[in-house]
Amino acid sequence: GESVGLHLPTLSVQEGDNSIINCAYSNSASDYFIWYKQESGKGPQFIIDIRSNMDKRQGQRVTVLLNKTVKHLSLQIAATQPGDSAVYFCAENQDGGATNKLIFGTGTLLAVQP
C-alpha cells in the first residue's frame, strides 16, 4: 500500500560529523514533505519542509533533498551535535494539499557519540 518508510532505523555518528537520514515514499502524488525531530518524552518538532517543485532546501545546519524520480527524501545535518540526538521522521501530504493531513514514516534514531 501507499506508505512512507525509512531505510535505516538507527544511525550512529560522531560529534562534528555530517549526518544523512533517508526516507523513501511510494505515493507519486505526494507534493509536500516535512522532516520532524522528536526528542525523548516530547512531541515531534518541525525542522524543515520542501515542496515537490523543489529538489533542495536549506535551513540552519540542515538541508533537505528531494529526488522525485526515485521517490527519495533525505535530511542532511551538518556538524552534528549531541543535541541532535533524537528520532527523525519524514512526513508527506499525499493529496496535493486538498487537506492538511500528514502521513508519517517509521522514524530513524540518530545517536550522536561525543
| Contact call for residue 40 and another protein (CB under 8 A) | no
Can you tell me the distance from the alpha carbon of 76 to that of 79, in angstroms, rounded to the nearest whole number?
10
For residue 56, the cross-strand partners are 65
Q: Please identify which residue in 11, 93, 110, 112 interacts with another protein, judged by CB under 8 A.
A: 93
Q: Which is nearer to another protein, 12 or 46 (CB)?
A: 46
| Contact call for residue 102 and another protein (CB under 8 A) | yes
| Ramachandran area for residue 71 (φ above 0: left; ψ -120 to 50: alpha; else beta) | left
Angle at 111 between CA 11 and CA 6, to 5 degrees: 35
Q: Which is nearer to another protein, 84 or 92 (CB)?
A: 92
Q: Which is nearer to another protein, 44 or 86 (CB)?
A: 44
| Contact call for residue 25 and another protein (CB under 8 A) | no
State the minimum distance, in angstroms, from the CB of residue 46 to another protein.
6
The footprint of another protein on this chain (CB under 8 A) covers a number of residues equal to 21
